[in-house]
Structure formats: structure tokens, C-alpha cells
């Protein structure tokens, strides 16, 4: 049988590990012609006995001249833009291409052939994952009691997965969504010891239940990921957004102080910056609440802002996937709309890193989300990735911006600055002012809720979010 000729893009640790795996297990199927790598000092030299033929700009020419059949992409620390460039060259030359995904064990050099797979949209949009200082995480979380709210959600569940690997004394996964929590429990069994975690069904709105849980479990660190997040729905139900995002956060903050929690990390969003939506306004209020509570006792509170995460529940990527499978149309709100994107594992790695930078408490951190991407381009990219042609095989329908949405999201307001931290992807927001009496705003929201006064709720939210619009 004739062997297939292949190139490996990336001569780093992952590429070398992959080459070793191929030689060991698939030597009768593949001939590795060479590496392609952008490190100029190794071009023309041999790495692990394999020659580095050139940089990625020459990939198309190298494929053609060497009659390559397959290209394996082994650059887990690369930006999505570089991977998109590599795919473009491969498509032009009509060669098969596969990828070593961006997951932490691969970034650290543990590459297995079973992990190599077809390209997914996350590969083309996600940004580089840098090997984090896992030793510091272990020092922070080992033998600690860590509680995660919203544990069954996209971010909360990943926080649980990652923290459990650092051998906490106990991980407490809290959520009111019992089906999701049940699924998470089955997953966590494969990561940690059965007695190393506990799944608790509870609603953060229930202050008595929260106090009871906190006083009985005595968590030392809390990651607060529970929130209502869907912008259009919360425009229609501002009272529910306030109950959950504002008063749920207030309940947790108060219970944390009462139970002697050492650190409270509030997971926020770019939609809390100069919010035009109810959801954004309530998340801004959550930031203000934890900042206010920070000055009261020994508990240190902070918030971490970031944008969209790829593949999270209700996000645009899984929606587009379903629409493409059905044959279209793919629904895009506006041709000009842009969003920041980050993979869930990378976002959580950076949230954990940001939690290490808390000093006095009250900090608001912002994750570097890279360059924003047009949603229209994302839709077309996903259609092409499915082997179809945008506008021909799959139509794109433009529906217009929904109530409360912005064309562009920001990670800091015009009045805020940013300071660098020891992690180049995490910034400390400076110039954050609590201009309003948070307690008075909360009291006003409480009165409006008791009166079931929807207009009153919106009017009070506008005190902290003047740009709030489109509430029916």
C-alpha cells in the first residue's frame, strides 16, 4: 500500500509529540515529509529528525511541490487567525487537514493520536491557550473548600472541572437546574474522588437556604457564575433578571461575609459596560454590589469581565450549527454586528488566574478578548466549514438588531482605564466609580418588585444604566 505524504504545521512540543505518535503507530500509513513552522531560526534545520521546510506563508507551495496528501495542524498555542490562514491554503490545494485541538494537556505536551480530529469552528475563532502557572493554581485551591454557583452552566461547569484537578478539600457545585447538575455530577466522578465534591440543588434567590448551605459547608473561595444571561428574554422579564442577577448576588455576598468566606469572584460580562439592556444593567448592579460589600468585613470581593464564549448554552455558534444542519437559513442580526470570542476553557483559565491577583478586594478585572469578529463572517465561515457555499447551499437571513442589543460590545467604559497585570491577557480596570448609593438603588428595586411594578424596575435600573432602552 502506498504511504500518504503528510506535513505537520508546528514544530513545537505538540508537533514533535505528534510526529512521535505517527512514527510509532501509523508508520505504515504515513510518510512525514517535514514540518512547517514560523520560527525563522529553525527553518532548514531538523527537529526530532524531521526537516523544517519553511514558514506557513509557504505552505501552499510546499503542499504542491511535495505532492502532500494530508496536513496535520499541531499549533495549540496559535491564534485562530493563523489557523484560518493554514486552512485556506489547504482548501486551495484540496488536501485533507486535521488538527490537534487547544486543550491544556496538549498545550503541556501530552499529545495522543486519539485527540487529533476534524476542524471545528472553535479552532478557527478561539485564541491561543498559554500554559498557565498550574503550580500557583494548586497552591491556591489545594485543600480548600471551593463553592461554584451556576455550576451546571457552561462557565460554572468548566470552573468545577478545572478546580477539581487541583485537589480541593471539597468542591461544592451549586445550581437550581437539577438535570444539569445531575449530568455534571456524573462527569465529575471521572475527574475526582467521590468525596471530593458535592452537588447541591439550591436557588441563589433563597437567602435562608443560601445561609444554611454556607454556614454548614464553610466555603473559603466562591466563584459566582449563576446568572440570567439572555438579552432579549430579560428585556421582556426585567423583574426576573433583577431577582436573580441583583438580589441573588446580594444574597451570596451577605452570606459570604456571615460565613467568613475569604475570596468571592463575581463572573461578569462585557454587557455590564455602559449597558443598553436589562441583562447588562443587572450585571452592572452585581459588580457594584460586590464592590460595596468588599469594604465591610474580611471577605475580599472582585469581578471578572469577559465577552462571548464559544459553544456556551444559547450562544450563536450552537444556534448556527443547528440552522446549518436543517439546511438554513442561518439568521444573522446585522452585517455590521461584531462580538469578542473566547473558548470556555481559556476563559476559565483566565478567571482562575485573575482570582490570584486579588489584593485589597474590590478589583474589577478584564480579560483580553483579542480582536472582535463580525457575526456575518462567522456565519459564512461555519457554512464553508460544513463543506457548503454561503448564499448558495445555505441562505443567510438578516433579522435586524433585537431589543437591548448593541452592534459592538466594550470591555470598559469611556471613563475607565486599564492597568497591566503579571498576566498579559488580564487587565485591572481603573477609574471605576460607584456613583450611586447602591443600597438606595437596591431598596428601590426591592419596593418595585413587591409592587410588581415593571416600569418602576426599569426606571430605577436607568439610574445606573442611562442607555437602557427597548423594554416593553
Segment 286-294 mean pLDDT: 94
Grid coordinates 500509513 are at which residue?
29
Residue 337, all three cell numbers: 454586528
* pLDDT at position 380: 87
What CATH number should be reported for the domain holding residue 170?
3.40.50.720
Q: Which of 119, 142, 174 is a domain's end point? A: 119
Residue 328 lies in a domain: yes
* pLDDT at position 107: 45
Residue 131 in contact with residue 160, Cβ under 8 Å?
Answer: no
Grid coordinates 455530577 are at which residue?
185
Quick: pLDDT tens for 2-60. 889 999 999 988 888 888 888 888 888 889 999 999 987 899 999 999 999 999 999 99
Q: Are residues 159 and 262 in the same domain?
A: yes
Nearest CA to 409 out of 378, 364, 368, 372 is that of 372
CA dihedral (55, 56, 61, 66) positive or negative: positive
User: Bigger pLDDT: 309 or 302?
Assistant: 302
Residue 469 lies in a domain: no
Nearest CA to 340 out of 73, 98, 127 is that of 127
CA dihedral (385, 119, 82, 353) positive or negative: positive
In this structure, the strands spanning 426-430 and 363-367 are antiparallel
Q: Are residues 112 and 191 in the same domain?
A: no
Residue 461 lies in a domain: no
Q: Are residues 216 and 92 in the same domain?
A: no
Residue 441 lies in a domain: no
Q: Are residues 303 and 346 in the same domain?
A: yes
Q: Are residues 314 and 224 in the same domain?
A: yes
Q: Are residues 138 and 237 in the same domain?
A: yes
Residue 220 in contact with residue 145, Cβ under 8 Å?
Answer: yes
CA distance 374 to 384: 16
Q: Are residues 262 and 290 in the same domain?
A: yes
Segment 166-187 mean pLDDT: 95
CA distance 370 to 368: 6
User: Bigger pLDDT: 392 or 132?
Assistant: 392
CA 403 to chain centre: 24
CA distance 317 to 124: 12
Q: Are residues 223 and 304 in the same domain?
A: yes
Residue 458 lies in a domain: no
Query: 3-state class of 250 per DSSP?
Result: helix
Segment 122-141 mean pLDDT: 70
Quick: pLDDT tens for 50-78. 999 999 999 999 999 999 999 988 887 77
Query: 3-state class of 45 per DSSP?
Result: coil
CA distance 207 to 254: 9
Q: Which residue in the list 170, 250, 263, 271 is annotated as catalytic?
A: 271
Residue 379 confidence (pLDDT) above 70? yes
pLDDT band at 325 (very low <50, low <70, confident <90, very high): confident
Residue 30 lies in a domain: yes
* pLDDT at position 347: 86
Judge whether 271 counts as a catalytic residue: yes
Terminal Cα distance for the chain, rounded: 68
Q: Are residues 53 and 142 in the same domain?
A: no
CA distance 80 to 366: 21
Q: Are residues 367 and 275 in the same domain?
A: yes
Segment 164-185 mean pLDDT: 95
CA dihedral (305, 369, 227, 216) positive or negative: negative
* pLDDT at position 389: 84
Q: Are residues 98 and 162 in the same domain?
A: no
For the chain, percent of residues with pLDDT exceeding 90: 51
User: Bigger pLDDT: 468 or 128?
Assistant: 468
Residue 230, all three cell numbers: 439572555
Residue 106 confidence (pLDDT) above 50? no
Nearest CA to 298 out of 256, 354, 328, 270 is that of 256
Q: Are residues 79 and 161 in the same domain?
A: no
Residue 73 in contact with residue 83, Cβ under 8 Å?
Answer: yes
* pLDDT at position 60: 95
DSSP 8-state code for residue 246 = I
Q: Which domain holds residue 259?
A: 134-430
Chain mean pLDDT for the chain: 87
User: Bigger pLDDT: 348 or 386?
Assistant: 348
In this structure, the strands spanning 363-367 and 300-305 are parallel
Residue 167, all three cell numbers: 485537589
Residue 163 in contact with residue 197, Cβ under 8 Å?
Answer: no
Residue 43, all three cell numbers: 527553518
Residue 258 lies in a domain: yes
Residue 114 confidence (pLDDT) above 60? no
User: Bigger pLDDT: 296 or 145?
Assistant: 145
Strands of 311-407, DSSP E: 330-332, 338-339, 341-343, 363-367, 373-374, 396-398
Residue 460 lies in a domain: no
8 to each of 31, 59, 86, 131, 406, how far by Cα in Å?
11, 10, 11, 21, 41
Nearest CA to 12 out of 128, 92, 165, 150 is that of 128
pLDDT band at 433 (very low <50, low <70, confident <90, very high): low
Grid coordinates 447602591 are at which residue?
438
Phi, psi (rounded to 5 degrees) for 92: -65, -35
Residue 74 in contact with residue 18, Cβ under 8 Å?
Answer: yes
User: Bigger pLDDT: 191 or 206?
Assistant: 206
Grid coordinates 480596570 are at which residue?
429
260 to each of 172, 220, 253, 298, how far by Cα in Å?
16, 7, 11, 7
Write out the DSSP string of 265-305: EEE--GGGSS--SHHHHHHHHHHHHHHHHTTTSS-EEEEEE
Residue 251 confidence (pLDDT) above 60? yes
CA distance 376 to 248: 35
The number of domains in the chain is 2
Write out the DSSP string of 115-158: G-B---HHHHH--PPP---HHHHHHHHTT-EEEEETTTSHHHHH
Q: Which of 119, 153, 172 is a domain's end point? A: 119
In this structure, the strands spanning 300-305 and 341-343 are unpaired
Amino acid at each position: 500500500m502506498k504511504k500518504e505524504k503528510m506535513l505537520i504545521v508546528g514544530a513545537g512540543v505538540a508537533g514533535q509529540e505528534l510526529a512521535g505518535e505517527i512514527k510509532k503507530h501509523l508508520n505504515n500509513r504515513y510518510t512525514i515529509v517535514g514540518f512547517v513552522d514560523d520560527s525563522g531560526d529553525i527553518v532548514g534545520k531538523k527537529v526530532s529528525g524531521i526537516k523544517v521546510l519553511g514558514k506557513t506563508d509557504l505552505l501552499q507551495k510546499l503542499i504542491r511541490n511535495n505532492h502532500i496528501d494530508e496536513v496535520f495542524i499541531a499549533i495549540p498555542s496559535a491564534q485562530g487567525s493563523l489557523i484560518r490562514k493554514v486552512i485556506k491554503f489547504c482548501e486551495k490545494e484540496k488536501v485533507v487537514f486535521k488538527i490537534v485541538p487547544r486543550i491544556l494537556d496538549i498545550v503541556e505536551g501530552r499529545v495522543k493520536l486519539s485527540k487529533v480530529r476534524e476542524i471545528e469552528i472553535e479552532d478557527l475563532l478561539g485564541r491561543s491557550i498559554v500554559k498557565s502557572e498550574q503550580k500557583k493554581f494548586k497552591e491556591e485551591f489545594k485543600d480548600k473548600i471551593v463553592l461554584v454557583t451556576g455550576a451546571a452552566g457552561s462557565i460554572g461547569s468548566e470552573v468545577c472541572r478545572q478546580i477539581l484537578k487541583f485537589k480541593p478539600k471539597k468542591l461544592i457545585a451549586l445550581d437550581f437546574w437539577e438535570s444539569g447538575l445531575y449530568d455534571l455530577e456524573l462527569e465529575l466522578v471521572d475527574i475526582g474522588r467521590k468525596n471530593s465534591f458535592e452537588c447541591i440543588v439550591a436557588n441563589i434567590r433563597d437567602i435562608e437556604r443560601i445561609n444554611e448551605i454556607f454556614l454548614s459547608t464553610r466555603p473559603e473561595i466562591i466563584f459566582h457564575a449563576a446568572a440570567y444571561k439572555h438579552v432579549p428574554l430579560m428585556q421582556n422579564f426585567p423583574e426576573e433578571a433583577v431577582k436573580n442577577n441583583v438580589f441573588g448576588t446580594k444574597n451570596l455576598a451577605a452570606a459570604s461575609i456571615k460565613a467568613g468566606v475569604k475570596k468571592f469572584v463575581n463572573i461578569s460580562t462585557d454587557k455590564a459596560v455602559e449597558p443598553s439592556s436589562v441583562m447588562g444593567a443587572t450585571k452592572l448592579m452585581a459588580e457594584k454590589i460586590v464592590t460595596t460589600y468588599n469594604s465591610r468585613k474580611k471577605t475580599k470581593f472582585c469581578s471578572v469581565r469577559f465577552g462571548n464564549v464559544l459553544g456556551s448554552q444559547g450562544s450563536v455558534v450552537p444556534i448556527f450549527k443547528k440552522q446549518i444542519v436543517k439546511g438554513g437559513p442561518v439568521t444573522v442580526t446585522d452585517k455590521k454586528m461584531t462580538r469578542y470570542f473566547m473558548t470556555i476553557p481559556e476563559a476559565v483559565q483566565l478567571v482562575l488566574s485573575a482570582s490570584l491577583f486579588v489584593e485589597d478586594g474590590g478589583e474589577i478585572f478584564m480579560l483580553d478578548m483579542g480582536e472582535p469578529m463580525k457575526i456575518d463572517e462567522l456565519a459564512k465561515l461555519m457554512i464553508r466549514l460544513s463543506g457548503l457555499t454561503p448564499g448558495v447551499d445555505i441562505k443567510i437571513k438578516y433579522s435586524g438588531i433585537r431589543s437591548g442589543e448593541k452592534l459592538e460590545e466594550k470591555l470598559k467604559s469611556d471613563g475607565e482605564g486599564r492597568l497591566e497585570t503579571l498576566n498579559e491577557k488580564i487587565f485591572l480596570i481603573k477609574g471605576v466609580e460607584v456613583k450611586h448609593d447602591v443600597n438606595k438603588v437596591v431598596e428601590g428595586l426591592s419596593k418595585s418588585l413587591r409592587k410588581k411594578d415593571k416600569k418602576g424596575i426599569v426606571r430605577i435600573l436607568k439610574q445606573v444604566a442611562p442607555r437602557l432602552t427597548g423594554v416593553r
